[in-house]
Amino acid sequence: MKNKRILFTGGGSAGHVIVNLALIPVYLRDGWEVDYIGSHDGIERQLIGEMEGVRYHPISTGKLRRYMSKENLKDPFKVLKGTLQAWRIIGKQKPQAVFSKGGFVSVPVVAAAKLRNVPAVIHESDYTPGLANKLAVPFAKKVLATFEETMQYLPEKKAEYVGAVIREELFQGDKQAGLAMAGLTNDKPVLLVMGGSGGARKINETVRASLPELLESFQVIHICGKGNVDPDARQQGYAQFEYVNQELKDIMAASDYVLSRAGSNAIFEFLALRIPMLLIPLSRQASRGDQIINAESFVEKKYARVLEEEALSERALMEELFQLKKAAPAMRDYMEQYKSEKSRARVIAILEEVMK
């Protein structure tokens, strides 16, 4: 292939970037030119902008708001502007294909790819497709699903179930390096707390209020989101971080249990690493309910326990964590039946197919 160039897009949350982070290194190693279209100030710029060998192109983008705002009137014009910008970037860079992970920044990119006759492949992580991917599907060549059950919501001729694409480096974590980074020991099991890339106020507050009892049974690594570190909560056995990137593999290797939101990419990574999980999905008041459905699916498969945010309290949290500890051996046995190794290879093969 004369011009080995591929373009990735996706953003708005870490979940709309993680799969791209799993695929991009493969293309860089194989000598491909890699471009990325994201927003001007989204988390994708923070995560992708640091990657050597990737050209980052910011464009204008709209935003999904579940409340009344004057900004909603401006969004169609932002999307049109972003589509024109993406059309120009694709015309200049001339990629063989576009891979989209979703989020509103991806909609103008996939539309522009269609206008430029460049095949686009969309990856949907959640059990039910998000609005951005629903809007982009008509412009895409293929739509890939993480959950097998998602296939019922996608156009049959375009859709394929591929499973979860897991970052290769997560399997290379060093437990002792993770413990050392957090200032922890081998004396007690480690509970990893993650509220998503933006943190989660109620989870953060409940965990900190529960620390006197929590630290009797666990050590805690708390990834609490930007600006959410509490200096007054510092104590032995409790480590706080705003966000962890390169060292996440070591932190996960050091973790025996995880308390987390139920974003699809994160929970499939915990599954692949065989970490028993207690999930607190975003409520329907704060989302379209996709995390609730994700969590219910994992509970049904016996990969996780779930605690609804509305029921979250110090007492409920401690009870659920002790139940998680009790169920963990059986949970790990069920997790062993899940195999993730073939998913990334299949996605790469599909991208090769659409380029022909």
* DSSP one-letter string for 210-242: THHHHHHH-EEEEE--TT---GGG-BTTEEEES
Residues 157 and 199 in one domain: no
Q: Tell me, what's the pLDDT at 150?
A: 93
- pLDDT of 87 over the 80 cut: yes
- CA atoms lying within 13 Å on the CB side of residue 189: 14
| pLDDT digits 0-9 by tens, 180-236 | 999 999 999 999 999 865 558 899 999 999 999 999 999 999 999 888 999 999 999
Query: Position 13: which residue type?
Result: S
Residues 160 and 187 in one domain: no
Whether 325 and 188 have beta carbons less than 8 Å apart is answered as no
- pLDDT of 2 over the 70 cut: no
Query: Position 276: which residue type?
Result: P
Residues 318 and 350 in one domain: no
Confidence of residue 287 (pLDDT cuts 50, 70, 90): low
Residues 265 and 133 in one domain: no
Q: Tell me, what's the pLDDT at 89?
A: 98
Closest CA to 11 of 40, 50, 39, 52: 39
- pLDDT of 40 over the 80 cut: yes
Full domain range(s) for residue 213: 172-335
Residues 228 and 303 in one domain: yes
Residues 324 and 191 in one domain: yes
Report the percent of the chain where pLDDT is more than 90. Answer: 74
| pLDDT digits 0-9 by tens, 235-265 | 999 999 998 888 999 999 999 999 999 988 8
Label residue 28 left, alpha or beta by phi (over 0 means left) and psi (-120 to 50 means alpha).
Answer: alpha
Q: Tell me, what's the pLDDT at 175?
A: 97
Q: Comparing 5 with 132, which gets the higher pLDDT?
A: 5
- pLDDT of 69 over the 60 cut: no
Q: Find the mean pLDDT for residues 165-173.
A: 92
Residues 62 and 153 in one domain: yes
Confidence of residue 298 (pLDDT cuts 50, 70, 90): very high
Confidence of residue 13 (pLDDT cuts 50, 70, 90): confident
- pLDDT of 112 over the 80 cut: yes
Q: Tell me, what's the pLDDT at 199?
A: 58
Q: Which residues face 191 on adjacent strands?
A: 220, 257
Closest CA to 258 of 292, 298, 198, 313: 298
CATH assignment of the domain containing 42 = 3.40.50.2000
Q: Tell me, what's the pLDDT at 220?
A: 98
| pLDDT digits 0-9 by tens, 200-214 | 889 999 999 999 999
Give the whole-angstrom CA distance, residue 309 versus residue 281.
7
Residues 251 and 284 in one domain: yes
- pLDDT of 348 over the 80 cut: yes
Residues 297 and 244 in one domain: yes
Task: Output the pTM of the full model.
Answer: 0.84
| pLDDT digits 0-9 by tens, 308-325 | 999 999 999 999 999 999
**Structural domain count, the chain:** 2
Residues 9 and 157 in one domain: yes
Residues 16 and 135 in one domain: yes
Residues 104 and 138 in one domain: yes
